[in-house]
Structure 1
Amino acid sequence: MPEGHSVHRIARQFDRNFIGKQLRATSPQGRFAEGAAVLDGREAVSVQAVGKQMFLEVEGDVWLRVHLGLYGAWDFAGEILLDPTIASANGRMGQTNQRGTDLDTPILDDAGENSLSSIGAPRRARVHVRMSEQTQGLTDDGEQWPPPVVGQVRLRLMTDITVADLRGPTACVLQTPEEMLASVAKLGPDPLVGDPVTNEARFVQAVRKKPTVIALLLMDQSVVSGIGNVYRAEMLFRQRLNPHTPGRDVPEEIVRELWRDWVRLLAIGVETGQMMTMDDLDAEQYRAAMASRDDRHWVYRRAGLPCRICGTSIAMEEIGARKLYWCPRCQA
């Protein structure tokens, strides 16, 4: 499932490519035909991500709420203006890694996780079209414009030069402003939305009053927004916290450290497009981790492999209908 960093990246791409422009909206699949008809011809006003959900405002007090769920993704094509605060489409790092080593050369993710042409559930991304002058028909490099619809596209949004195709979402609905605010109110704090101090306090209070185990609380979007299976496993390991500990039994300082770690990891994820959760890597190790998911995590998807710290075999179990990875010794 796409986690919070992906949805924030999607929102930022919409902000760069669609806000302030008139939308052409269709539902090639047909399942969102009525909604697309409402959106068609309206100007995109604003966009925001909260956890795993994106809210796109269009003129006329209409909001589009999209929850990608397990299988959803947005495919972008056309003249894609990259947000300067995040990595480019080929994974170029414009800033620095966690140790401050300048990495200004392309780092390609073998799983395509950092692709800006397709953001969401893992899939083979379609190559996007680059154009200098756009008209209906062919682009300057001979590619068809607009690009043909491929597969089951729930919603296609277009400007004169950019296309965004939505596939496989759990939710794609239109809302009034009141309904949009009600949806956001149901979500837990997101480090990139609202006041940082208030967000941390909300998270600490929500966790420490519940008997539910911490492994489930971190996945509860009413407790905290954006954390999915990968970040859940990695955050618990980074705090050396037993995933079966009831939330109310986790010391307050550890709960605060969990929140602060989520703030750090989300920022890295938004910048790089990858769920990088390992620290203190030299330049060579960092480059390998950015290129391969197998070198990027402490415990996630490492069941049966030795713990990178103590050598104990990483355990995997089902909890809340999702796979949980953890080290029985480091997190005893």
Structure 2
Amino acid sequence: MPEGHTLHRLADQLTATFGGRPVRAGSPQGRFADAAQLVDGQVLLGAEAWGKQLFIAFPDERFVHVHLGLYGKFDVYDGVADVPPPVGQVRLRLVGERAYADLRGATTCALVTREQRDAVVARSGPDPLRADADPDRAWQRIRRSRAPIGALLMQQEVLAGVGNVYRAEVLFRHRIDPMRPGSTLRVSQWQAMWDDLVVLMREGVRTGRIDTVRPEHTPEAMGRPPRRDDHGGEVYVYRRNGQACHVCGTTIRTTELQNRNLFWCPQCQRRFRSRALQ
């Protein structure tokens, strides 16, 4: 599933390509036809992301709400001479001057009101990529929960936009056991992770990939081959199970946590033991 930086990058692309200009909207597949007709020919005011939620704004406080889910793709093509016929199950097609965008396979594609858009946002946790985010909202939920921090970071109502990659990597970078109960963290630890996510995810928006290794652990610095993986980017633990940790050499491990694969280094992220049990 795309992580938050992908949605923010997509929102920027949609705004740059179509923002402030009328667009034709249609649903070649047919499932979004009635709603598309309501915004067809209207000015696309802009697009924004909140975590993994995308909102495309039109006049009269109408928003196309998109959640890509596991299989969704929203491809934007700019500078085209002609718009080709749709290929595959295109739920939504936007067409502008020398540009078009096709949405396929999304979990959600709905035309919503301002009130409905605000309700989705209200259910979401703070997004590290938004200037208006308040990390204390997430902290208040984390500090009261006995659930593992590795699970809490993936709950979009706690923290919006963080997925499996950023979850695994930020916990490694701060040497935190993924199974450690949220309520045992110190606020300083949470603030350090939040600040780190802000920097890492902004870089993800800029480059379109997730890179989390520090300068001393890059392939060039370590004399190792670059990572080869369809997710791209240089990482410490994500999808590196069975390989040596870049920091200590210990074998990276994996397990399942709430139906998602979790990756960690058992040496750098030692098992947390509460002092109350010692």
Would you say same fold, with TM above 0.5?
Answer: yes
Alignment match, 1:271: 206
Tell me the CA shift for residue 60 of structure 1.
2.2
Give me the whole-angstrom Cα distance separating, in 2, the residues matched to 1:269 and 1:194. 16
Give me the whole-angstrom Cα distance separating, in 2, the residues matched to 1:261 and 1:202. 17
**Structure 1 segments unaligned to the other structure (5+ residues):** 80-128, 130-138, 140-144
Q: Is the 8 A contact 1:276 1:289 kept in 2?
A: no
CA offsets per residue over residues 4-61 of structure 1, 9 Å max, x none? Answer: 0000000001111111111111111111111111121111113211001111110122
Give me the whole-angstrom Cα distance separating, in 1, the residues matched to 2:168 and 2:2. 15
Q: Structure 1: which amino acid aligns with 2:258?
A: G
Correspondence 1:64 to 2:64: yes
Give me the whole-angstrom Cα distance separating, in 1, the residues matched to 2:250 and 2:226. 22
Residue 215 of structure 1: which of 144, 147, 150 is its match? 150
Give me the whole-angstrom Cα distance separating, in 1, the residues matched to 2:153 and 2:11. 23
Residue 226 of structure 1: which of 161, 169, 172 is its match? 161
Alignment match, 1:25: 25
Alignment match, 1:148: 85
Number of residues paired by the alignment? 266
Tell me the CA shift for residue 306 of structure 1.
1.2
Q: What fraction of aligned residue pairs are identical, expressed as a percent?
A: 44
Alignment match, 1:202: 137
**Structure 2 segments unaligned to the other structure (5+ residues):** 271-278
- The equivalences for 1:1-16 within 5 A come to 1-16=1-16
- The equivalences for 1:1-332 within 5 A come to 1-79=1-79, 129=80, 139=81, 145-195=82-132, 199-281=134-216, 285=220, 296-332=234-270
Report the more deviating stretch, 301-310 or 238-247.
301-310
Tell me the CA shift for residue 285 of structure 1.
2.8
Q: Is the 8 A contact 1:35 1:173 kept in 2?
A: yes
Q: Is the 8 A contact 2:211 2:233 kept in 1?
A: no
Pick 1 or 2: higher relative contact order, CA cutoff 8 A, min separation 6.
1
Alignment match, 1:93: none
Taking a change above 3 Å as real, the CA distance of residues 289 and 180 of structure 1, as seen in their structure-2 partners, is: farther
Q: Is the 8 A contact 2:13 2:76 kept in 1?
A: no
Taking a change above 3 Å as real, the CA distance of residues 151 and 248 of structure 1, as seen in their structure-2 partners, is: same
CA offsets per residue over residues 131-170 of structure 1, 9 Å max, x none? Answer: xxxxxxxx3xxxxx11221111111011121101001111
Give me the whole-angstrom Cα distance separating, in 2, the residues matched to 1:34 and 1:276. 41
Give me the whole-angstrom Cα distance separating, in 2, the residues matched to 1:295 and 1:17. 26
Runs of 4+ in 1 over 4 A off after TM superposition: 281-284, 288-295
Give me the whole-angstrom Cα distance separating, in 2, the residues matched to 1:261 and 1:290. 22
Q: Structure 1: which amino acid aligns with 2:8?
A: H
Tell me the CA shift for residue 291 of structure 1.
8.2
Matched residue of 2:155: which SS? coil
Q: Is the 8 A contact 1:203 1:259 kept in 2?
A: no
Q: Structure 2: which amino acid aligns with 1:298?
A: Y
**TM-score (normalizing by structure 2):** 0.90
Matched residue of 2:111: which SS? strand
Taking a change above 3 Å as real, the CA distance of residues 240 and 18 of structure 1, as seen in their structure-2 partners, is: same
Report the more deviating stretch, 179-188 or 69-78.
69-78
Q: Alpha carbon RMSD of aligned pairs, Å?
A: 1.9
Give me the whole-angstrom Cα distance separating, in 1, the residues matched to 2:196 and 2:6. 17
